[in-house]
Amino acid sequence: MGLFSFSKKSDYVPSDEFLNNELCNKYFFRKMPFRLINKNKIAAFDPQSPRVITFDPWPEGIFINATGKLTLKQFLIDTAKLYKGKIPSSLEKTIIEETERLINNNFISISDYPVELDESLLHPQKNNK
């Protein structure tokens, strides 16, 4: 299943450091359309230049969940629930750092309020083969 093993329940509570991060309560949303390139991988298409972006697992997970409906805190808690057993101590730091990279590369953006994505950004594009 990739990075995570599903478990039934998590009582994960984010650290004060995470809760005090400026991104914690921000909604995050994608700014690029994407396509499934196989069952477990996506490619995003930059509308501003002729480039295709593929992601490592962490940024891909954040990008896929960047629907404008979750705050980063909600994403962290949902992600923590996917771990069976001990949650890695680096989870919060990884999510913050990878989210910041995606924002800095203009792949996603943040908002104080939920965002309604255009259909072209909400769902994977169909292959035109």
Number of domains in the chain: 1
Does the pLDDT value for residue 128 go beyond 80? no
Assigned domain for 26 exists: yes
Quick check: is 6 in a domain?
A: no
pLDDT tens readout for residues 8-43: 455 889 999 999 999 999 999 999 999 999 888 999
Please indicate, yes or no, if residue 129 is contained in any of the structural domains.
no
The answer to whether position 127 is within a domain reads no
Q: What is the pLDDT of residues 91-120, one digit of tens each?
A: 999 999 999 999 999 999 999 999 999 999
> What CATH number is associated with residue 102?
3.90.930.60
Residues 78-84: contacts with CB under 8 Å, at least 24 apart: 79/4, 80/10, 80/12, 81/7, 81/9, 81/10, 81/12, 82/3, 82/4, 82/5, 82/6, 82/7, 83/4, 83/5, 83/7, 83/10, 84/5, 84/6, 84/7
Q: Does any domain span residue 1?
A: no
User: Does residue 8 form part of some domain?
Assistant: no
Q: Residue 77 belongs to what domain range?
A: 16-122
